[in-house]
Structure 1
Amino acid sequence: MPFDTHPHTSVRTGTVAVYSPWDEERWVSEPAKNPRRSAFQRDRARVLHSSGLRRLGAKTQVVSPGTDDFVRTRLTHSLEVAQVGRELARYLGCDPDIVDTACLSHDLGHPPFGHHGETILDALCKDIGGFEGNAQTLRLVTRIEPKVIADDGRPAGLNLSRASLDALTKYPWPRSEASAGRRDSGVRKFGVYDDDRAVFDFYREGVDNGQKCIEAQVMDLADDISYSVHDVEDAIVAGHLDLADFAADDRRAELFEITRQWYLPETTDAEMDKALGRLQAAAYWPKETFDGSRRAQAGLKHMTSQLIGRFVGSAESATREEFGWEPLARYSASLVVPESTTVEIAVLKGMATLTVMVAEDRLRLHDIQAAVINELADWYWQSPDKLDPMFRADHAEAADDPARLRVIVDQIASLTDHSAWALYHHLNAGAEDRL
């Protein structure tokens, strides 16, 4: 296939990565537009201007929005992931706009209340193919987000290019092919619902099942790096986490066990202990308890910056050692992440999980959040006229009850934490106030 006219230069090598018209192709054909912008720059702009991205500003990352002015939301997390991913893409010769688009998009499908909201909706959808945030992301960018309508009337969402859709697919398989090994935090992970297979098959044409392009791998690593580093920072600032606690053997044992349960089931205590030791030995690792002072905050920021550089540099070096210094794009190579880096990232993620996500007060909140989502689902089922106009139209066109339930779940997944709580409180304000 002929090469496109929008090459991108690796900042490290000065060489050019090339993408073909096949990579630029969209599910619904569109007329050519401004020749000064590549297809991938247009993709990035569409995500930046989407309503789904704006809603992430009021969705939980780890600590709920509104509990503190400092904590990250899904939006700020996505912006940070995009920065990390874009830089690594430039170092490797990938198109930075493709990776940027994938990073900005990667959490669009996550519902209110973070990963717990995902678990609640998955249970609600157990008979219709389940719920998964990444599959919902694909559904949002290819169907729900209002941007492009095909000539036959079907919605095409943002109608992103083939390469961008492939790059944002973290789990390139349907639920039926999500084996026991394809789990994260004990949850079966997949990237496409059965009724979205048409677009999935379009952009995955010719690709082996389960294989991820290097741009998707860069997005995935950038997410892991940002999650591990920034969620630890949030947990420290919010007072949930004191790094000095892990000097005690019993606390280290708890950390290693939760890390194994959630992230690295095959990793031994000894391997995690070495990883933690390497992190603690770093000159930038805080040696004193965080007290909120300007000096302490600056030290914490220095740690996050150094850790990001450590992990990105490790992956870049290992990938270049394996594949040389040619620009790497699509399926020409795979990202190589050293095992030592993988374990260090997982241990950091374990810290945030142990001190925030499975803390007793958080678990009590989970019961309340489940009640919120389930009551909203019952209400929308009984009163579909209360759905937002777009979803109301989808509900009216749905062929059967499973399809109607999927529309209701689409509506709930689009809510922010605040709007879900507000609607729930309105419904429970008293019988006389019910809509």
Structure 2
Amino acid sequence: MEGTSTGTAPTPGAYAHQAPPPGYDPTSVARWAVEPDKRPGRTAFQRDRARVLHSSALRRLAGKTQVVTPGTRSRVWDASPRTRLTHSLECAQVGRELGAALGCDPDLVEAACLSHDLGHPPFGHNGEQALNEFAEDCGGFEGNAQSLRLLTRIEPKRFVRGDAVPSAATADGDHLVSVGLNLTRATLDAATKYPWPRGAHPTDPGSPKFGVYDDDRPVFDWVREGAPGTRITFEAQVMDWSDDVAYSVHDVEDGLHAGHIDPNCLHAEPERQEIFRVAVGRYVAADTDPAELSAALDRLLDQEWWPHGYDGSAVAQARLKDATSQLIGRFCLAAEGATRATYGSGRLTRYAAELVVPRAARLECAVLKAVADRYVMQRAEQELLRADQRIVVAELAEALTARAPEGLDPQFRALFDEAPDDRARKRVIVDQISSLTDAAARSLHARLTGQT
């Protein structure tokens, strides 16, 4: 198990002492803060995986919404809906195997998959939107940028002298500054789905997606040293597709378990058209022909393993679990085959290749996302719940702004006291809220506002 420690000042660009795994060069295993390995024989990426796996941030994902709010009961006695934690574990299993099949280091890909949702706030994307509105004047909020911030600054694991950290608020050499989990360059890069700052999307400047806040640029620039522009590393592409596969398949599984999705509706034309309407513009390009989506859905429905007539019985649950396995294998094998057909049989790592996912597989995945969106996320009671969640986040942010440092955890209270200006203090409040589980956010909101 990885323990918390302090160490020498970071030397940006310095290499780790151990040799890199096959397919990677010394720059890939460099750490922002140089440190020796405590256990010879482990690779740098095995250390990274262990640090993420033992982090408190990963454990907190057990209390954060995936699609169905944690604690919600389904109609099946033994069915529990996914949380952000179970989703991350499943994404990691998918990514590890797909990455290994393509020549990536499996521990590196698994660490990236485990990390990819660490920055998500309470209440899922709904909480993300509310926090982004609150943080508009201090750089906004984005779950992926928050993940990088957490990995490199917030999660307490490794501390170094403040006078050697370019991003520190103080140049006092006696002041210890957190460098987070101090992961390798390759792992941090693999966990970065959007390697650009706010408003700098390479093809869509209006996109809300970005991967770094302005005050985290020093470590981000170090991570991206030598990277070809805004190109996404191969391992990050494997992680991203594994994420899509895991949540598209498992969200439908959860929806069936909970009784929100009726399999028969997928054959009814009016319902199908509504599913395709949800998919177009949200999960596929706006000019996608609905006929392509119809063909994609039919391909899935025509499979002998598709869970037709799901009724929640033990036999039906077993068939559904088999369908889940079949779908994951179908999507991963499609990407593996197409990528190998393009690049051959060698190791594919870092910037040596692009993950090739056939259009047919992407459309099938998008249809599954749209099914879950239509029948789970768009339920009337879900919208009422989301409206309440937005109020909780907004009122909690307002209460903390008025009363901080009261209400802040000791870690964030210290950062609030050290913050040089209002913008920095507001960012600390954002960090505090984003670290909360759903239940903790409601509890703190009730304590600070007096509401129950």
Whether TM exceeds 0.5 here: the answer is yes
TM-aligned CA deviation for residue 189 of structure 1: 0.7
TM-aligned CA deviation for residue 280 of structure 1: 0.6
TM-aligned CA deviation for residue 357 of structure 1: 1.6
Q: For residue 346 of structure 2, what is the aligned residue in structure 1?
A: 326
Bigger mean CA offset, 207-216 vs 339-348: 207-216
Q: For residue 280 of structure 1, what is the aligned residue in structure 2?
A: 301
Structure 2 residue 358 is the aligned partner of structure 1 residue 341 = no
Q: How does 1:51-66 map to 2 (within 5 A)?
A: 51-66=56-71
Q: For residue 67 of structure 1, what is the aligned residue in structure 2?
A: 72
Query: What one-letter code is carried by the residue in structure 1 that aligns with 2:65?
Result: T
SS of the residue corresponding to residue 37 of structure 1 reads coil
Q: For residue 19 of structure 1, what is the aligned residue in structure 2?
A: 24
TM-score relative to the length of structure 1: 0.93
Structure 2 residue 201 is the aligned partner of structure 1 residue 178 = yes
Q: What is the identity percentage for the equivalent residue pairs of Structure 1 and Structure 2?
A: 55
SS of the residue corresponding to residue 150 of structure 1 reads strand
Structure 2 distance, partners of 1:179, 1:326, is 29
Contact (CA 8 Å) 1:2, 1:20: kept in 2 or not?
no
Q: For residue 185 of structure 2, what is the aligned residue in structure 1?
A: 162
Contact (CA 8 Å) 1:255, 1:354: kept in 2 or not?
yes
Q: For residue 12 of structure 1, what is the aligned residue in structure 2?
A: none
Contact (CA 8 Å) 2:248, 2:365: kept in 1 or not?
yes
Query: What one-letter code is carried by the residue in structure 2 that aligns with 1:367?
Result: A
Q: For residue 76 of structure 2, what is the aligned residue in structure 1?
A: none
Say how many residue pairs are matched: 418
Q: For residue 410 of structure 2, what is the aligned residue in structure 1?
A: 389
1:124-143 Cα deviation digits (max 9, x unpaired): 11122211100000000000
Contact (CA 8 Å) 1:173, 1:209: kept in 2 or not?
no
Q: For residue 121 of structure 1, what is the aligned residue in structure 2?
A: 131
**Could you list the runs of 5+ residues in structure 1 that have no partner in the other structure?**
8-16
1:2-54 Cα deviation digits (max 9, x unpaired): 996454xxxxxxxxx42122110001111233221111100000001100000
Q: Aligned pair in 2 of structure 1 residues 181, 242: CA closer, same or farther (>3 Å)?
A: farther
Q: Of 314, 319, 324, which aligns to 1:294?
A: 314
Contact (CA 8 Å) 2:66, 2:124: kept in 1 or not?
yes
Q: Of 336, 344, 362, which aligns to 2:382?
A: 362
Contact (CA 8 Å) 1:3, 1:18: kept in 2 or not?
no
Query: What one-letter code is carried by the residue in structure 1 that aligns with 2:108?
Result: I
Structure 2 distance, partners of 1:6, 1:401, is 43
SS of the residue corresponding to residue 42 of structure 2 reads coil
Query: What one-letter code is carried by the residue in structure 2 that aligns with 1:245?
Result: C
Q: For residue 254 of structure 1, what is the aligned residue in structure 2?
A: 274
SS of the residue corresponding to residue 175 of structure 1 reads coil
Q: For residue 3 of structure 2, what is the aligned residue in structure 1?
A: none
Q: Of 86, 104, 107, which aligns to 2:96?
A: 86
Structure 2 residue 397 is the aligned partner of structure 1 residue 410 = no
Query: What one-letter code is carried by the residue in structure 2 that aligns with 1:154?
Result: V
Structure 2 residue 156 is the aligned partner of structure 1 residue 151 = no
Q: For residue 14 of structure 1, what is the aligned residue in structure 2?
A: none
Structure 2 distance, partners of 1:136, 1:117, is 13
Structure 2 residue 45 is the aligned partner of structure 1 residue 40 = yes
Query: What one-letter code is carried by the residue in structure 1 that aligns with 2:98?
Result: L
TM-aligned CA deviation for residue 116 of structure 1: 0.6
TM-aligned CA deviation for residue 240 of structure 1: 0.9
Query: What one-letter code is carried by the residue in structure 1 that aligns with 2:184?
Result: S
SS of the residue corresponding to residue 211 of structure 1 reads coil
Q: Of 254, 259, 265, which aligns to 1:239?
A: 259
Structure 1 distance, partners of 2:311, 2:449, is 41
Q: Of 292, 295, 305, which aligns to 2:325?
A: 305
**Could you list the runs of 5+ residues in structure 2 that have no partner in the other structure?**
1-14, 74-78, 163-175
Q: Aligned pair in 2 of structure 1 residues 196, 3: CA closer, same or farther (>3 Å)?
A: closer
Contact (CA 8 Å) 2:399, 2:449: kept in 1 or not?
no
Contact (CA 8 Å) 2:18, 2:44: kept in 1 or not?
no
Query: What one-letter code is carried by the residue in structure 2 that aligns with 1:45?
Result: A
SS of the residue corresponding to residue 173 of structure 1 reads coil
Contact (CA 8 Å) 1:179, 1:188: kept in 2 or not?
no
TM-score relative to the length of structure 2: 0.89
Q: After TM superposition, where is structure 1 displaced by more than 4 Å over at least 4 residues in a row?
A: 1-4
Q: What's the C-alpha RMSD, in Å, of the aligned pairs?
A: 1.8
TM-aligned CA deviation for residue 429 of structure 1: 4.2
Query: What one-letter code is carried by the residue in structure 2 that aligns with 1:43?
Result: D
Q: Of 187, 204, 208, which aligns to 2:224?
A: 204
Contact (CA 8 Å) 1:53, 1:75: kept in 2 or not?
yes
